[in-house]
Amino acid sequence: MGPIVSLQDISLRYHSINGETPAVSHLSLSVDPGEFISIVGPSGCGKSTILSILAGQLAPSEGTMEVNGNIGYMLQKDHLLHWRNIRSNALLGLEIQKKLTPENIEYVESLLKQYGLADFKEHFPWQLSGGMRQRVALIRTLAVKPDILLLDEPFSALDYQTRLSVSDEIGSIIRQEKKTAILVTHDISEAISLADRVIVLTKRPATVKKIFPICLSITNHPPIQAREAPEFKDYFNAIWKELDVHV
Ligand code: ADP
Ligand code: MG
């Protein structure tokens, strides 16, 4: 089986009245089915732009792209609707796509149950913690059965402690559901603990600077325990150096 996502020599320039902004330059990347990829790079380098290209929201100025599956998109804010209860929020994506079949509703019910939200179905978003809300947002995304999940800094609105456990939960759910995932994050530890490969981008315009395949001696671990692996800090230091944030 070939890659599920393949970008070849992709460039993108934004046009505005002030001129042209090159955001992505000759970027190539392929992702295998079931792989979990983390993308890190300097702020403003073009990470969100890359996800928008993958989602088909922006057309690249140059290059070719192949995406062999349905895309699900998860953003920093959970975008839950405050007047809908949790069950009805989780069903929103299906409703918009007019796919509220009994099978799909049953699937959402089973996800809510499996991921600890069964007792909160009739609650409203404001009655839930930030972490639970992010779980609802993930279930809403999973409901439409995407093959590929794009996650744009989905944990950055959470405080540090919550962020640790929520990234752990969300990472485990994505593994369990056997999805392909592309996560953009500015948190190096999060990137390493969740991913099979960490892609480091250059500053704008983004291109791939270095790829780190992650192989930790603690296997079949929840991501949070991955941080205990002896190699963890070596990956951290190598990626930190590659990011070159002080330059
Ligand atoms: P990142 O997600 O890595 O922080 P973005 O992909 O959001 O970066 O943006 C990359 C660059 O492109 C930034 O310098 C940003 O200001 C610029 N940019 C983003 N969107 C637009 C737009 N619609 N028009 C012009 N410039 C944009
Ligand atoms: Mg961004």
Bridge partners of 73? Answer: 150
Task: Yes or no: say if 192 and 239 are a contact pair by the CB < 8 Å rule.
Answer: yes
DSSP string, 128-184: S-HHHHHHHHHHHHHTT--SEEEEESTTTTS-HHHHHHHHHHHHHHHHHTT-EEEEE
Per-residue pLDDT of the chain (247 residues; tens, 9 = 90+): 799 999 999 999 999 898 999 999 999 999 999 999 999 999 999 999 999 999 999 999 999 999 999 999 988 788 899 999 999 999 999 999 999 999 999 999 999 999 999 999 999 999 999 889 989 999 999 999 999 999 999 888 888 888 888 888 889 889 998 999 999 999 999 999 999 999 999 999 999 999 999 998 876 667 777 888 889 999 999 999 999 765 5
Q: How far is the CA of 134 from the centre of ligand 1 (A)?
A: 25
Distance CA 185, CA 5 (A): 19
Name the pairing type of β-strands 148-152 and 180-184.
Answer: parallel
Boundaries of CATH 3.40.50.300 in the chain? 26-69+147-247
3 state DSSP class of 90: helix
Q: How far is the CA of 186 from the centre of ligand 1 (A)?
A: 15
In this prediction, residue 220 carries a pLDDT of 67
CB 47 near ligand 1, within 6 Å = yes
CATH pick for 26-69+147-247 out of 3.40.50.1000, 3.40.980.20, 1.10.3080.10, 3.40.50.300: 3.40.50.300
Neighbouring residues of 117: CB distance < 8 A, sequence distance ≥ 6: 86, 90, 132, 135, 136, 139
**CB burial of residue 29 (10 Å; 0-12, 13-18, 19+):** buried
Task: Yes or no: say if 201 and 207 are a contact pair by the CB < 8 Å rule.
Answer: yes
In this prediction, residue 151 carries a pLDDT of 95
CB 11 near ligand 1, within 6 Å = no
Handedness of CA 202, 207, 210, 211 (dihedral sign): positive
Scanning the structure block, which residue is given the tokens 């079931």?
34
Predicted TM-score of the model (pTM): 0.93
CB 49 near ligand 1, within 6 Å = yes
Phi, psi angle pair for 23, to nearest 5°: -105, -35
Mutating to test ligand 1, I would choose from 10, 40, 49 the residue with most ligand atoms within 8 A of its C-beta, which is 49
Q: For residue 145, which of 69, 76, 219 has the smallest C-alpha distance?
A: 69
In this prediction, residue 43 carries a pLDDT of 92
